[in-house]
Structure 1
């Protein structure tokens, strides 16, 4: 199926701004597109919250998606926190360029995303202008929730979205207000009010209506699952009763004398803490069952409309999650692989089934990927690169060989749903670079971490003190380039 669009002029998206152009210009159509290539594919993007790789084995529809498509084994997020990561997904920009460094003002959240002009630079704006029906179902950005202090957000619908069914504090899955295209509807505690059920129904309806209209669609289903408290659907609430969190070599790590100062003081996990971790893992597995069924249901809906060969399915998470590794209770925010390396699975036209792609990808790449799938040329000031060549089996020279992670910390806002527990992991500000065989972290307070992942894949022994000076200089140079990069300068870093 052809994946390119006919000519569409002056499209915004992925950080478009006047004068900064790449290829055909600001979100411009790809040059040389013929009439035979004009059919636009549909895109179904399922973005989960805090889902790590350990949960995928309990999601049969996601595993079927892997069989039908491509799994990115080295996909990393640029920040292991919800709002910065989602802002990067929407715009294709690193957090230091969106200005969204946390979940809360003045360093992040919906208000900062909006005031910095990011809402005009999302993939939804570009695709809507290109003729797509666009929909967001579920979660948007932290701070969007309607309340007395932010009454203006109660019925506000951001630009670029044809269909908008969003709530802000849906973590409990019940008793929430849903903004449906500017109209607020309250959902209570009946089984039918379970948020993933409501979102699933509305997503299926959107697909059916778009198909009936003969219009290409971009559907983003953005779940709160399995974010804590990881509330499962009623039919899943007692399943998986004997599961325990994976006991990897790093679980309740016996010796953390090599770790940075913020972590070295953590005591070993006690039996009651391990018991709580196991219960959290069971809850997380239960919580993703409704997400998995939603994916299967959407696939069936697309197939029933005869659109299966014209639709890309993308499964992803905004960040990972740790459960007991390095003595950390449940949480995220660290630069360890548990938190930064998350699922990205894509199936659709031109994607070879059952393949694994080991080249590096980041959440900066999703916005330009969606634009190129729609037939557009991503704008020049996009920090990420389109993954379409990799999806279609192309040999791309000079592809990146590193990933950049930046985090603003520590977190203390008691109202933040991502505030860590006492021993959940609350590191100070850091930046990190991940290569195929290394993790190098620089903390604002001067601490360093360095792991040889080829010998130490579970990050048990930091070698920062024994690091070869020449290699440290090289990695510091890579970090320095990433910290201040923008647009082409980000894409040129390897």
Structure 2
């Protein structure tokens, strides 16, 4: 099924595994397969033989710099595969998550922002995208599925469970990590301010209960745990609230430094961040590291549940983020939505049976996640997927003609007052709509204003010098043609063909 093409946007594929600390109670385990949430009639549960479990956890705004504070994630990478270049198709939460669920670019999901009429849960739901997710495909293949944590921006617990999920433990506004409501299989469960209500801990316990139940039933499962952490307000578990004293935001060469005068208008003529702003960034970064440590605890707890139930050898674990995050680079306050590597490149780590330990150089995107999940489960391809399965790369193959161009789509500026990612203020990053192509050595952007931006990331890794005026016309023409083809592609074959700069 092909959707009508919409406008340009970005969808970031990210998978993230997170485990909750043990010993935190989330109440009794739910019936793992309640009748009202059972799969389609006539679909028998698959046996575990030949069907690996998939533990798929997605973090929120976790950039690659935070991995150093997550020892269990580092251990996951030490035994699995890491992708050197996992690019968001849109460096914003809801477009990215929509692409992760469906394998489709924003121009095929119709989700370009976090709120209607240009995005958010309302658009994803009203367009029927929920019928085309990896969860629906795996449920039809006989898997028991569970969604826990954050779904899509704009979702409220009163909206009820989405199709494709046997277990549904999903929050609305869970950013504070306390005092939130979960929709638990259609019933609203409130969590307050006790330490045991900290959301990653609650999700970790529920995830562990789900693993235990499915193991006892000898049924393959697909479990997605999607945290709100470390998204602002960067709330850590109380046990981590004093960690990393004195930690500062990374001082890379672009930190609080101006770009060249050739920068696009939205970025040009900035003023340096004031000392108080830098102090706020440092405090925020320290809290983000603390919140990431809490997510790392969740990872440890879920892996312990796999060990206890004998499921480790039959489970693919994937870790990633919906988008990256900048804090002080290019004289910008905290935020995302740009094509800077801080926002665009996210961690993607996979470990499990048949996964070769190595760093994979090929360029991948969040649109590849859902096709990978369905391939692992031997489920049919997704109807609107634009991405491609990463299973051959995970197994150690090096295809000779892998894509060399990633599409980034964005609609802006972001002015919705109810958007948790709205970034008001003169120091914020709030670019106009753009389409961009990222290759191994170049980031090329075309703005709706008519401006263009070109960064040679080999000689200008921190993307401070827009050199579009010096690029040979034939090179710009090739990049423009690739961008146009990607923005208008539909389906795996067409988008794969478009993702090559000649």
Alignment partner of 2:95 out of 84, 90, 103: 84
2:183 alignment partner, SS class: strand
2:137 aligned with 1:126: yes
2:445 aligned with 1:437: no
CA distance in 1, matches of 2:496, 2:188: 41
Distance apart, 1:372 and its partner CA? 0.3
Deviation string 1:49-103 (CA, Å, 9 cap, x unpaired) is: 0000000011000000000100001100100110000000000000010000111
CA distance in 2, matches of 1:155, 1:244: 40
Query: Runs (4+) of structure 1 moved beyond 4 Å?
Result: 35-38
CA distance in 2, matches of 1:122, 1:492: 23
Distance apart, 1:381 and its partner CA? 4.2
Correspondence list, 1:7-46, <5 A: 39-46=50-57
2:266 alignment partner, SS class: helix
CA distance in 2, matches of 1:16, 1:407: 21
2:129 aligned with 1:105: no
CA distance in 2, matches of 1:155, 1:203: 22
2:474 alignment partner, SS class: helix
Structure 2 spans left out of the alignment, 5+ residues: 4-45
Alignment partner of 1:417 out of 420, 426, 436: 420
How many residues of Structure 1 are paired with residues of Structure 2 in the alignment?
Answer: 455
1:358 alignment partner, SS class: strand
Correspondence list, 1:94-493, <5 A: 94-146=105-157, 154=158, 156-353=160-357, 355-379=358-382, 381-422=384-425, 423-487=427-491, 488-493=493-498
1:492 alignment partner, SS class: helix
CA distance in 1, matches of 2:445, 2:49: 46
CA distance in 2, matches of 1:184, 1:122: 24
Structure 1 spans left out of the alignment, 5+ residues: 1-14, 18-34, 147-153
* Aligned match of 2:9: none
TM-score normalised by L of structure 2:
0.89
CA distance in 2, matches of 1:456, 1:410: 26
Deviation string 1:183-221 (CA, Å, 9 cap, x unpaired) is: 001111111111111111100000000101000011100
* Aligned match of 1:7: none
CA distance in 2, matches of 1:97, 1:145: 24
CA distance in 2, matches of 1:36, 1:240: 45
2:62 aligned with 1:62: no
Distance apart, 1:258 and its partner CA? 2.2
CA distance in 1, matches of 2:428, 2:47: 54
**Structure 1 vs Structure 2 CA RMSD:** 1.5
Is the contact between residue 132 and residue 383 of structure 2 (CA under 8 Å) also seen in structure 1?
no
Is the contact between residue 16 and residue 121 of structure 1 (CA under 8 Å) also seen in structure 2?
no
